[in-house]
């Protein structure tokens, strides 16, 4: 990207916290079916940073993401996106916050089959009757390498290309934060690497903030930092992760799990 584009679009990432949880607790059910999915989690997600969330199955990764994104009500504590406290918002305000401040990427690409790639990318903004910033949109489309595929429908695109459309859609409204839940879970390793590369680039080049849930140590190594959860608690925090370092931490937890 040229320095001019960077200056025009103000892409230098502002320092600070894009989202944070404080004493965040989430309890499902009651009585015998009571499950404490999150047990007083306190964590910050830095603005302009790429954070991976890892942990064993059932450790609370998706619940944390859903609570942080206002998709699930919290039981106790606080969840903030920027300066906005989620627990104080009603459904309409939450919908608006998600539309304006949060981008989502899921394992399933969730594209509409009758729309072409560009229409899928701009759909959330069309629904919100907001106009996409054309310059930003072109930058996103160029960054995810879709310029030649914009008039293709999902069925005419590979899985990796479809997920890139989903990444572009998540970034199109220039959200405060992007939450990605196992974004490479349905992709072969090469397509997965492409998608991770674009998420990485959206952070490094475009100053976006990404929080990604993953089981894959290689995927996690694209992040700036890995937060580990176990039994609904933050158990570790690894900066500048390599696949080996992530695997090592995972082995450590497995060993602890077996002995405790
Ligand atoms: N809607 C729900 N109702 C009841 N219990 C739930 C609900 N959603 C999640 N749980 C429970 O909360 C705990 C955390 O689940 P969560 O899906 O957040 O874990 P996870 O780390 O994302 O797991 P996975 O890696 O398998 O997706 C689990 O014990 C799960 O069974």
CB 205 within 8 A of CB 44: no
In sequence order, the 6+-apart residues with CB closer than 8 A to the CB of 19 are 44, 45, 68, 79, 80, 81, 82, 176, 177, 209, 211
Establish whether residue 29 lines the binding site of ligand 1, counting it when its CB lies within 6 angstroms of any ligand atom. yes
Give how far the C-alpha of residue 60 lies from the chain's centroid of Cα atoms, to the nearest Å.
15
- Helix, strand or coil for residue 32? helix
Establish whether residue 191 lines the binding site of ligand 1, counting it when its CB lies within 6 angstroms of any ligand atom. no
What confidence category does residue 260 fall into, taking pLDDT thresholds of 50, 70 and 90?
Answer: very low
Q: Whose CA is nearest to atom 13 of ligand 1?
A: 37
Q: What span, in angstroms and rounded, lies between the C-alpha atoms of 212 and 37?
A: 18
- Helix, strand or coil for residue 234? strand
Residues 159, 160, 166, 172, CA torsion sign:
negative
Is 223 domain-assigned? yes
The strands making up 177-181's β-sheet, listed across from edge to edge, are 102-105, 177-181, 210-213, 50-54, 225-230, 233-239
CA of 121 to the centre of ligand 1 (A): 30
For the complex shown, is ipTM > 0.95? yes
CATH, residue 244? 3.40.50.300
Confidence (pTM): 0.90
Is 154 domain-assigned? yes
Is 121 domain-assigned? yes
Establish whether residue 143 lines the binding site of ligand 1, counting it when its CB lies within 6 angstroms of any ligand atom. no
Is 20 domain-assigned? no
Is 171 domain-assigned? yes
Is 98 domain-assigned? yes
Q: What span, in angstroms and rounded, lies between the C-alpha atoms of 136 and 153?
A: 22
- pLDDT digit string (tens) for 208-257? 999 999 999 999 999 999 999 999 999 999 999 999 999 999 887 766 65
Q: Whose CA is nearest to atom 30 of ligand 1?
A: 58
Establish whether residue 164 lines the binding site of ligand 1, counting it when its CB lies within 6 angstroms of any ligand atom. no
CA of 63 to the centre of ligand 1 (A): 6
Residue in 227, 222, 257, 258 with CA at minimum distance from that of residue 243: 222
Is 255 domain-assigned? yes
Q: Whose CA is nearest to atom 6 of ligand 1?
A: 28
In sequence order, the 6+-apart residues with CB closer than 8 A to the CB of 154 are 109, 111, 112, 113, 117, 120, 162, 165
Tally of domains in the chain: 1
Establish whether residue 58 lines the binding site of ligand 1, counting it when its CB lies within 6 angstroms of any ligand atom. yes
Q: Which tokens is 217 given?
A: 């140590």
What confidence category does residue 12 fall into, taking pLDDT thresholds of 50, 70 and 90?
Answer: very low
Is 28 domain-assigned? no
- pLDDT digit string (tens) for 107-150? 998 999 999 999 999 998 888 888 888 999 998 888 888 889 99
What residues make up the domain containing 150? 48-62+90-259
């Amino acid at each position: 990207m040229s320095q001019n584009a960077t200056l025009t679009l103000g892409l230098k990432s502002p320092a600070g916290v894009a989202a944070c949880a404080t004493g965040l607790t989430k309890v499902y059910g009651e009585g015998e079916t009571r499950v404490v999915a999150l047990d007083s989690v306190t964590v910050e997600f830095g603005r302009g940073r790429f954070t991976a969330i890892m942990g064993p199955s059932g450790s609370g990764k998706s619940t944390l993401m859903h609570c942080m994104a206002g998709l699930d009500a919290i039981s106790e504590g606080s969840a903030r996106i920027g300066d906005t406290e989620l627990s104080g918002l009603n459904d309409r305000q939450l919908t608006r916050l998600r539309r304006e401040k949060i981008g989502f990427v899921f394992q399933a690409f969730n594209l509409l089959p009758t729309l072409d790639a560009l229409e899928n990318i701009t759909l959330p903004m069309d629904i919100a009757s907001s106009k996409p910033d054309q310059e930003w949109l072109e930058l996103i489309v160029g960054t995810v390498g879709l310029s030649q595929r914009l008039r293709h429908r999902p069925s005419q695109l590979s899985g990796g290309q479809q997920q890139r459309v989903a990444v572009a859609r998540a970034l199109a409204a220039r959200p405060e934060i992007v939450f990605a839940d196992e974004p490479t879970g349905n992709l072969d390793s090469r397509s997965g690497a492409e998608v991770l590369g674009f998420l990485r680039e959206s952070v490094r080049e475009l100053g976006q903030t990404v929080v990604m849930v993953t089981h894959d140590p290689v995927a996690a190594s694209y992040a700036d930092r890995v937060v580990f959860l176990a039994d609904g608690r933050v158990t570790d925090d690894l900066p500048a992760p390599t696949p080996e370092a992530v695997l090592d931490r995972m082995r450590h937890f497995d060993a602890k799990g077996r002995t405790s």
